[in-house]
Amino acid sequence: MQARYYSTSDLAKKTGTSRQVISAIINDNWKQKRISQATYDRITQAMDEIGCVPNRTAIALRKKKQGRVGLLCHGPLYSHTLSALEKLNHYFLGSDQTLQMHVSAEGSLTDAIRELMGHRVDTIVILLSPMLDNFGVKDLGNETLHKLLRVVPHIIYNFPFDIPDQKLEAKFLSLGSHVIGFSRNHAYLAFLRYLQEQNLTRILIDEKIFALLAHSPQTTKICNSLTRVEPYPNPQSGKLTENIFELGEQMAFDLLPYLTREKFDYLITASDGIAQGAASVFEQRGIRVGKDIHILGFDKIDSLKYLKHEIATVEVPVEKMFTKLTDLLEGIPLENKAYRSHPKLHLP
């Protein structure tokens, strides 16, 4: 089945009237055109009966309506980006701005921006997923994208500040971008210093996090000072649609041989869900979480305090980031900036 949208000519034929009358009703100036209430009621009823919906984009352009925001969710939604999207939902419910929303997969960011611009949005918000390969650097580095973004005011939320190529941030600032994000390395640096202070020097670490730490001289230096640092495969790679707790359980089974051979002080995971799944398996196998091994998650999910196993975690500063996003949506300043917030480390 294909979508069918009626033109003013189609509707005029079906209702036995003129295109001028149809246009006046659609553009909401029928009273000024001295069209009767009876005619208005008859036409609008006919439109409902055949499922005719006016082209609102074209109407907005004719009226030069402002405040049309294009929201692009790029990549798989994740805990803290999902929280931001939920907050945006409530924001737009109470706003007089109209919203054009799109989703795009890895590799299609430029095409999605082009599509939004075709809807003549006044502002674009790009909500980046942290689950994109290398934090979406490849998509963000597209030169065609850069040319497009020069045309329309835009905000990039969850910008990957910790990427290896720091020149990318400067590039977007030169395009007039406002970028909002946080530094994962800030939280991990505090955690690694804690490990040093507590003499907890043997860790199992998600390889994606380990690769991130390798780009910072400070975190690299501390990692090199630890007795044992064993990276393991990220359990979500290629499995983003699978249950995150079950992925944590499977990961724990894969790591059990390491734990039976030698002592590790900390397991560093990519999320609180994975951490909880792993903790469940460890406890079943007689490995006491918080005594035999400690676990670090990520996100500080809302349900964490209700879950069984006590873990350390990193809280993403969603409130600060979202507040900055809504401030910008209320009026984007001419001077473009990068807005960083620092995550908070929570220890059990």
What percentage of the chain reaches a pLDDT higher than 90?
A: 54
Nearest in space to 314 (alpha carbons), one of 185, 202, 225: 185
| C-beta pairs of 308-311 under 8 Å, 24+ apart in sequence | 308/276, 308/279, 308/280, 309/275, 309/276, 309/279, 309/280, 309/283, 310/348, 311/272, 311/275, 311/276, 311/279, 311/348
Q: What is the pLDDT of residue 55?
A: 64
Closest CA to 44 of 31, 26, 29, 58: 26
3-state SS track over 152-175: CCEEEEEEECCCCCCHHHHHHHHC
CB-based burial of residue 200 (10 Å sphere; 0-12 exposed, 13-18 middle, 19+ buried)?
A: middle
Residues 261-273: what's their mean pLDDT? 94
Q: Can you tell me the mean pLDDT for 9-26?
A: 85
Instruction: Give the number of other CB atoms < 10 A from CB of residue 304.
Output: 19
Average pLDDT estimate for 316-339: 90
pLDDT beyond 60 at 2: no
DSSP run (H or E) holding 288:
none
pLDDT of residue 69: 93
Rounded Cα gap, residues 236 and 208, in angstroms: 10
Band (pLDDT 50/70/90 cuts) for residue 164 is low
Mean pLDDT of the region 21-49: 85
The pLDDT of 260-278, averaged and rounded, is: 94
Q: How far is CA 19 from the centre of its chain?
A: 44
Pick from 201, 204, 224: which is nearest to 214 by CA?
224
Q: How many residues does the chain have?
A: 348
Lowest average pLDDT, out of 85-94, 172-181, 229-238, 306-315, goes to: 306-315
Stated pTM of the model: 0.78
